[in-house]
Structure formats: structure tokens, C-alpha cells
Amino acid sequence: MSECQAKRIVVGMSGGVDSSVALLLLKKQGWEPVGVSLELPVWKNPCNELRENACCTSESFANARKVCEKLGVPHYIYDVKRSFERKVIGYFISELSHCRTPNPCLICNRELKIRKLFEWAKRHGIRHVATGHYAKIKIGVKGEACLERAEDGKKDQAYGLCLLPRAWLPKLVLPLGSLTKQQVYEIAIKEGLGFFAQVRQSQDLCFVSGKAMKQFIREKIGKREGEIIDDEGKKVGTHQGLYSYTIGQRHGLGLPFTCFVKCMDAKRNALVVTRERKKLLGREFIVERFNWLCKKPQGKFQAAAQIRSGQREVKVCVVQEKGKLRIVCDAPVEGITPGQICALYKGRRCIGGGRIMRALSE
């Protein structure tokens, strides 16, 4: 590979401030960036407010193109709609159908977004890929690439990357890992990209807005009403489909008293609720399909675990059992949820992640 080719890098462009500043910083560092926006499917229904799904609009592509033109960088749109429907939406619906709470963003990072960026890069003779995620890739003392938490704890997205194949890490560049969100905005304004200050930040899934979610799921799975029962087995109401709920949920249950979703009984199509929040606490759970981002440790070991996005990590003991991990928390944690992803850490380093299979009763 020539020196010129070695400097080329594909930058995933969502049309937002993070990927745009990542592109800007890479160019300043001497890279030769190529902007690539992924065209994803959006549910075509009047109730789906496309404007909230900011990474999939024509406006987002226009913003990405505008930034690339300003910086003298080529920009391409890569149509990955069919792959997204199969890999991400298919996974999302399958997990809900099996009474598990999916985490489509983590699956998307591994199976679609970053995978497709590397695919596009390879097709064009480019080795490296960059994104605007808030995380770090560090090179260890033995030359191995490691995934670490970002400096900005509030924006840290290492959790969202814990399922990436280990082989990708040496070729992945994350320019925002040492910056705060405020610093990113300041760089954007200083460099003439101030229009991002007016761009709304969305928390919706990219293919469907939060307001349209229930209708989207009902269209895909169908209406499956059943009983809501308390933890003594007494019927207290009717649910609209187990896929509409998640463990620990308090609002939207339609009951005349305060309670929390304790679990789903798939065999009975029953939603189990409890009035006692302490009954949501647990200390042990099983994780399957663990993706190691480091050399696999031998035997049991100490680590820190994060069981959902934005949650504080907890100290745990990890016991390896027949291809699965048994996670034993030092203190009880709330809402251990089958289907969610558990990431493990050693200090600031993320050593991998896997799917929570089930909680264990004490």
C-alpha cells in the first residue's frame, strides 16, 4: 500500500455534528478522508415522524454533503436498506417476539453500520474507518488495539461498540474520544459549522420514531393481548402485547395503582407486575454469545459490568461456565433484562460484551 493510500480513511457521515467534527479533525491530522453516508430504511407510515429520525432524512444527507464540500472531501451515499431490514429490524422483531428486550443500536453497529463502512472501504482499497463515537482506541504495550471509555463520561459510547469484532479495532479511528460534547460544538462553530447548533438531537431509533413505535411493532407482530398478573398470580389488568413492555417499566401499564414490570411469562402470555420495587433487584445473571475484545481470561475473574446504555457500572465476579458467563454482582442491581447487552470492563478498558440470557433467582 502506497503512502497516499495509507492516509485515506472512510468517515461514516450521519449529517450530525459528531461525525462532521470527526471528519474535520482527521483532515487536520493529515488523513485524506472520504465521507460515506449510509442510506437506511424508514418505516413509511403517516404516524412516523421522519423529522425525528435525524440520521435518515434527506436533510441529514444534505448536511453531510455540505460539510464535505466545505472541507474539500468527496461524499458518497451507500444504500444498505435491504441489509438493515434483514440484520437490524429482523433482529429487533425476533427479540420482541421472544419476550426479550432488544438493543438494536449495538447490533446495528456490529452487523450493519461499521461493518458496511469497512465493506465500502475494502471495495475502494481503503484500510481505515472512522466514526463520531465517543470512545477511544488505545494501543497496548504489546501492540494490541483496545477499546476504552471516552473522557466525557456523560457521552461515553464504548458500551455501544462492545460487540464489534476484535479484528476491526486496529483499523478503527475514533477522533472524539478525548473531547466533550461542548468542545465538539465549539470546534464546529469555530470552523464555520455553526448550523449544527439548530439541528435537533434525536433519541429515537433511526427507522421509527418513539411516538410510532407501538404501532410499528403491532404491524410487524400483531396484537397479542393477555393478562396482567401480580406476583401472587392474581389478575389485575390486560396488557396490549408483551412486546410493549420491559422489565422495571412503571408508566403506561394502565393500572389504577403504582407498580413495576417484574417479568414476562411467555408460556401464559402474561405480564407479571409487582408493587415492591425491591423485587426488581437481582445479583446474578447469565450472559451468552460473549464477544471478547481481549485475550480470553482463564477461570473466574473480577471486572465491572454495565447492563444497559447510560447505566453506571457495578463490580462483579465473572464465572465461565460451558461457553457462557455467570455474572455475580457485588451489590444488587435493578432491572436485569433478558435481551439487553452486558459489557465488561477492566478499568477504562472494555473487554467485550454479550447478551443477557436470564436472571438467576437468589
Does residue 237 belong to any structural domain of this protein?
A: yes
In order of 72, 132, 195, 336, 360, the CA distances from 283 in angstroms are 53, 34, 47, 9, 8
Indicate if 240 and 295 belong to the same structural domain: no
Instruction: Of 50, 114, 117, 48, give the one whose Cα is nearest residue 77.
Output: 117
Does residue 165 belong to any structural domain of this protein?
A: no
* Angle (deg, nearest 10), helices 90-97 and 213-221: 80
Residue 45 sits in a domain whose CATH number is 3.40.50.620
Does residue 335 belong to any structural domain of this protein?
A: yes
- 249-281: pLDDT as tens digits: 999 899 999 999 999 998 999 999 999 999 999
Indicate if 87 and 50 belong to the same structural domain: yes
- 299-353: pLDDT as tens digits: 999 999 999 988 899 999 999 998 899 999 999 999 999 999 999 999 999 999 9
Indicate if 261 and 304 belong to the same structural domain: no
Residue 271 sits in a domain whose CATH number is 2.30.30.280
Q: Is the pLDDT at 46 greater than 90, yes or no?
A: no
The residue among 210, 236, 255 that closes a domain is 210
Residue 353 sits in a domain whose CATH number is 2.40.30.10
Does residue 146 belong to any structural domain of this protein?
A: no
Mean of all residue pLDDT scores within the chain? 90
- Tally of CA atoms within 13 A in the half-sphere of 257 that contains its CB: 9
Indicate if 73 and 114 belong to the same structural domain: yes
Indicate if 101 and 182 belong to the same structural domain: yes
Q: Which of 206, 259, 263, 350 is catalytic?
A: 206
Does residue 113 belong to any structural domain of this protein?
A: yes
Indicate if 230 and 92 belong to the same structural domain: no
Mark whether 162 is an active-site residue: no
- CB neighbour list of residue 251: distance below 8 Å, 6 or more residues apart: none
CA 153 – CA 149 distance, rounded (Å): 8
Does residue 218 belong to any structural domain of this protein?
A: no
Query: Would you state the pLDDT for residue 52?
Result: 47
Regarding predicted confidence, which is higher, 258 or 196?
258
Does residue 150 belong to any structural domain of this protein?
A: no
182 is in which domain, residue-wise?
A: 3-132+175-210
Cβ atoms < 10 Å from Cβ of 344 = 27
Domain total of the chain:
3
Indicate if 244 and 309 belong to the same structural domain: no
Cβ atoms < 10 Å from Cβ of 122 = 13
Query: Would you state the pLDDT for residue 3?
Result: 57
Asked if 123 and 326 count as a contact pair (C-beta separation under 8 A), the reply is no
Indicate if 66 and 183 belong to the same structural domain: yes
pTM: 0.91
Q: Which of 55, 108, 259, 329 is catalytic?
A: 108
Does residue 286 belong to any structural domain of this protein?
A: yes
Average pLDDT estimate for 175-195: 92
Indicate if 258 and 337 belong to the same structural domain: no
Indicate if 26 and 72 belong to the same structural domain: yes
The grid coordinates listed for 103 are 438493543
Indicate if 189 and 230 belong to the same structural domain: no
Mark whether 206 is an active-site residue: yes
Query: Would you state the pLDDT for residue 26?
Result: 98
Query: Would you state the pLDDT for residue 255?
Result: 94
Indicate if 117 and 230 belong to the same structural domain: no
